[in-house]
Amino acid sequence: MNSLNFNDVTLKFGGITALNNVSFEVKPKSLYAIIGPNGAGKTSIFNCVSGIYRPTQGSVTYGDNDIKELRPDQVAELGIARTFQNIELFENMTVLDNILIGAHRHLEYGAISSLFFSKKARKSELEAREIAEEIIDFLEIEQFRYSYILSLPYGVQKRVEIGRALALNPDVLLLDEPAAGMNNEETEDIARFIIDIHEEMGKTVILVDHDMNMVMDIAEEVMVLNFGEKLAEGTPAEIVKDSKVIEAYLGVS
């Protein structure tokens, strides 16, 4: 596993600066959180890491790999997967089928093998199914295995999206507001799963969320963004006492 480095990254859209000279490092097997007000640039960081956006300046590296110019599928091949702020599942497919889509990176057969459903194709499909079933059990969504996404509660859909990302067997998992729109019970469940993904699976987790209680409870290190600039970085205990962070979130009298 490698460190993910954001080095002096600036991202501009015409006259709008979404990120301004932002740098940080996420070490292997850490649980790192990025927080900030709406429009601070949190999702823009994820988009730069996952290959959706290309920084105007600076570099994004994962180990020895410069991922600034890579396509999203090439970034996934390096072992980086993500979820989205707005759920991006296939609504007319089942939970199992959505998670199997995430396992496509592990399939090792071509068009001819697929056409004749060869022994190699059958073996790969069986392995993908085993991966999907393990994730379904891990996320405690067994009862929804054959349910269509559009019929599921919002909180379950969020778990399925995490499951699809896990099916790629990534080293780094980017979670974009996994608890958004959830009630307290659902938020506690998601927090528990995030901790288990980090501790039991040994994944590097980078988390963006607005639920400050959850972030401060589970994160090992926190970076604060404000208007596209890095405002502070440190442990949760340090961040909650930082005067610049308090001013950005609460204002001053």
193 and 249 assigned to the same domain: yes
User: For residue 29, what pLDDT is reported?
Assistant: 94
Q: What angle, rounded to 10 degrees, do the helices at 154-166 and 184-199 form?
A: 10
42 part of a folded domain: yes
Could you tell me the pTM of the whole model? 0.90
84 part of a folded domain: no
Number of domains composing the chain: 2
85 part of a folded domain: no
175 and 55 assigned to the same domain: yes
190 and 229 assigned to the same domain: yes
User: For residue 119, what pLDDT is reported?
Assistant: 67
135 and 179 assigned to the same domain: no
Residue with tokens 């340090």: 238
Report whether 31 contacts 216 (CB < 8 A).
no
Q: Of 136, 163, 190, at which residue does a domain stop?
A: 163
Greatest pairwise CA separation for the chain in angstroms = 72
68 and 187 assigned to the same domain: yes
6 and 68 assigned to the same domain: yes
Q: Of 163, 179, 212, at which residue does a domain stop?
A: 163
32 and 138 assigned to the same domain: no
174 and 73 assigned to the same domain: yes
Per-residue pLDDT of the chain (253 residues; tens, 9 = 90+): 789 999 999 999 988 999 999 999 999 999 999 998 888 899 999 999 999 999 999 999 999 999 988 999 999 999 999 999 888 899 999 999 999 988 877 666 555 565 546 666 667 778 888 899 999 999 999 999 999 999 999 999 999 999 999 999 999 999 999 988 888 888 999 999 999 999 999 999 999 988 888 999 999 999 999 999 999 999 999 998 888 888 877 665 5
Backbone dihedral region for residue 14 (phi beyond 0: left; psi -120 to 50: alpha; all else: beta): left
8 and 69 assigned to the same domain: yes
Q: Of 101, 131, 163, at which residue does a domain stop?
A: 163
86 part of a folded domain: no
132 and 241 assigned to the same domain: no
178 and 56 assigned to the same domain: yes
251 part of a folded domain: yes
Question: Which residues lie closer than 8 Å to 7 by C-beta, 6 or more apart?
Answer: 23, 58, 59, 60, 61
Domain that holds residue 115: 91-163
DSSP label at 142?
G
Report whether 235 contacts 45 (CB < 8 A).
no
